[in-house]
Structure 1
Amino acid sequence: MDQLAKNILKHSEDKTFSALAEHLQNNSELLARQDSQSLDNLIEALDVSQQSLGVLAILCAKVHLSSVGEFQLLLDQVTTFTTFYDGEQISYARVTFASLYHQFTKVAVKQGKALCAINVLKMAIDKYRTAPTKLTSLHADLVQLCLAAKCVRPVLPYLDQDVDDFILEGSSSESSEHIVRYYYYGGLVYTLVRNYQRAVLFFTVCLSTPASAISAIMLEAYKKYVLVSLLKQGKVSALPKYTSHVVDRYVKPLCGMYNEIAKVYSSYEVSKVTAVIDKYAEPLTRDNNLGLAKRVLASLYHRNVQKLTKTFLTLSLSDMTSRLKLQDVRQAEKYTLEMIESKEIFATIDHSNGMVSFHDNPEKYNGPLMADYIDEEMRKCIEIEKKLASFDQQIAVDQKFIQRMLGGSSTYEDDSFYTDEGLM
């Protein structure tokens, strides 16, 4: 270990970082055999800003130990490293760098310290990524920590930022795993905060990520996708055409009860949906989806109320109770008030005679706020168009793409470039 420390100091002083990265890789087994105290002593002997590669290798070895020692000490060490590491040195060991935070996340979750680790991951992502629109493999770890800590507010700014490129390490399968995890966890977060539009988007990306085999995450994502789609749009839309064949062939058949809920939901009959949810209450509970399924049932009442607004200008609460097959007038009033508050409908309730009056949307879409909103959306569309043009130019000069186009058939059918394997 003394000789390893000397080599770290020498290579760092000579700035031969490539050789140092290779040397540390060759000595990874030596580090893995040390206990946490020996590794702590070695870390103390090094300066993070000057010997970033050495500290990274030692910390990575420590977080993979069966016993990492006191978590607070590990947290302080990772925080110090994240704050002061030299980006030039880390560029020679990006896989090890990512592995440190992946394993650190697992340790934090396992020890129930997820909340303490959130700020470290935020700092690591902000320092590592080259732009806010770049997705790193560390993003999935941050979302996982927030979910484990039941504190999702810190990750929302990262999830709200649309992605236009990836900064991923390792093999294509490992990179795909991190993308799938990020969008699945992100979908869970948006479901928790009831932003169903973004939740549907994230579960869609999770399911349409290229894959050649079924995974547990894709299976769970499809279950959530069905329920959240019903909450958002009252139906389950078809997935994109480029979605892997494994979803149709293997995932959907394994989610029969969710497909049945979606089918029955389309009838708009509360009694039928209630019966199906009661029928599958036990498996839904095992999937941790019973609460979400009950939200779906509640949303059906809302949709039925919306149907009434297209037929009636005024309606008594008692008549509404009868038409919606509710328990009593108070339940009808409750759903009406909820929908008025969320602006799903525009109505007033006259308690003197128990009548509900439905109104048109008062928004005329001609105010300054709406003009600002339209300008912002147009700006986003222009930016997207520029990015698409840039991607098109990059693909046009890509050697692999050119070779496939010149060497393949005149049609795109059966071209492996467009299959799951080609996209991986």
Structure 2
Amino acid sequence: GQITSPKSPNGPDSSDVEAPKNKTPLGRSRAHKSTIRRSSRPVSSPPTRRKAASRTAPDQTPESEPSSKGKAPSAAAAAAMESVEALVAHIQGLSGSADELAQLHGLLKQADGDALRAHSAGLLPFLSHLHPGAHSLGYLYLLDSFVSSSANLRAHAGGDLLVTVADFLTSCSADQIRMAPDKFLNVCRVLKNEVMQLNAPIRGIAPLRAAVRKIQTSSEQLTPLHAEYLMLCLLAKQYKAGLSVLEDDIFEVDQPKDLFLYCYYGAMIYIGLKKFRKALELLHNAVTAPMSSLNAITVEAYKKYVLVSLIQSGQVPSFPKYTSSTAQRNLKNHTQIYVDLSTCYGTGSYSDLETFIQSNAEAFQT
């Protein structure tokens, strides 16, 4: 009966919950009837390396130029910058056909890791030589290497970097970024974290909405970005913006954690819009979805489920038979104050209800 504590701001580890099964759209019926179809498009093997189209390589960055004191850069640094210049030339010349992109992807994988990250601070100027729409795959690799460095993020907090990332998310080619989905998700999360640190969540709404559509293979697919997007809408109090994804019928769920967060944040959006029936549907999904151990998101969802049920109908329904035994055994024990609130509400005594709420105000606020 222990609650799995969240390991990140996004919620608990997904290892403690099972994935939903049958094909029924979320928000209309039980979430655990959703079908999970894992769709990872394999990347074709790179063909024999062809010579990239001849293009003018970008100018050397300040790191590779002699300093004002006349000191020449180290041979290793110069070689590294030449290597990045050559990679940019490949990106420019191999971003056309599917075969070219497959070859380019192989080159990018070889360069990824120590080669790029060791010199990530000097990558930003090279992005100006690439088009985020035409050269999306290569652009993504360079951008991901840059934003994966906390030192780079501190040095370029907000400002032009935020604009660069936002422009990429809205302009990039869906087909190209789906070849490296993990890197795309990382860049999206960096954007979300940056706008939250700036206390400006509204700046991330449009780019993340575009990113959701780019990474989706169909509007029926639930992605990890759905919850990130809904959280920004919630923090910015842009509830109507959240409807752009909440009104889709979801059938494909990859990770259970994504499902729980989607249901919770989506319900909060509907509560903000005073659409309590729709909120109850999503909260019901979070509470009744299959799980092997209780998770923190489900506990919070049940608290909201009690409150919204009292607003909507004046009573809290009992658990349906298909609710997991884990939830039925443990949820009420972890939300006892809300169960007592429901009981007090049922007496019909306004004065008793007011006294109960006031005497337990601290518990409700934690």
- Tell me how far 1:5 sits from its aligned partner: 4.7
Picking from 205, 224, 249, the partner of 1:163 is 249
Gaps of 5+ in 2: 1-79
Q: In the alignment, does 2:191 pair up with 1:111? A: no
| 1:41-190 paired onto structure 2 within 5 Å | 41-67=125-151, 68=153, 69-159=156-246, 161-166=247-252, 175-190=255-270
Structure 2 counterpart of 1:39: 123
Distance 1:179 1:100, change over 3 A: farther
Relative contact order (C-alpha < 8 Å, sep 6+): which is higher? 2
Q: Which amino acid aligns with 1:78?
A: V
> Contact 2:167–2:207 (CA<8 Å) still a contact in 1?
no
Q: Is the 1:135–1:163 contact (alpha carbons within 8 Å) kept by the matching residues of 2?
A: no
CA distance in 2, matches of 1:20, 1:265: 64
TM-score under structure 2 normalisation?
Answer: 0.68
Q: Distance in 1 between matches of 2:130 and 2:237?
A: 36
- Secondary structure at the aligned position of 1:238 is classed as coil
Q: CA deviation at 1:18?
A: 4.1
Name the CA distance, whole Å, in 2 between partners of 1:191 and 1:30.
48
Give me the whole-angstrom Cα distance separating, in 2, the residues matched to 1:133 and 1:140.
Answer: 15
Check conservation: 1:63, 1:104, Cα contact below 8 A.
no
Larger Rg: 1
Whole-Å separation in 1 of the counterparts to 2:328 and 2:357 = 23
Higher relative helix content:
1
Distance 1:19 1:215 in 2: 43
**What's 1:224 paired with?**
304
Q: Distance in 2 between matches of 1:131 and 1:268?
A: 48
> What is aligned with 1:284?
364
Cα distance change of structure 1 residues 155 and 10 upon mapping to structure 2, 3 Å threshold: same
Is the CA contact 2:177–2:215 (under 8 Å) kept in the aligned structure 1?
no
| Cα 1:65/1:108, change in 2 over 3 Å | farther
CA distance in 1, matches of 2:348, 2:315: 11
Deviation of 1:25 (Å): 4.8
What residue is the counterpart of 2:10 in the other structure? none
Residues 78 and 227 of structure 1: CA distance in aligned 2, closer, same or farther (over 3 Å):
same
Instruction: Work out the number of aligned pairs and report it.
Output: 278
Checking the alignment, whether the CA contact within 8 Å between 1:211 and 1:244 is kept in structure 2 is yes
Amino acid at match of 1:183: C
Matches within 5 A, 1:8-407: 9-10=89-90, 13-14=93-94, 15-18=99-102, 20-21=104-105, 24-25=108-109, 27-34=112-119, 37-67=121-151, 68=153, 69-159=156-246, 161-166=247-252, 175-286=255-366
Structure 2 Cα separation of the partners of residues 245 and 205 of structure 1 = 15
- Structure 1 CA distance, aligned partners of 2:328 and 2:322? 12
Judge conservation of contact 1:9–1:51 (CA < 8 Å) in 2.
no
How many Å apart are 1:8 and its aligned residue? 5.4
2:113 is matched by which residue type in structure 1?
Answer: S
Verify the 8 A CA contact 2:291 2:324 in the aligned structure 1: yes
Letter in 2 for 1:248: Q
Letter in 2 for 1:222: Y
Provide the alpha-carbon RMSD of the alignment.
Answer: 2.6
Identity %: 27
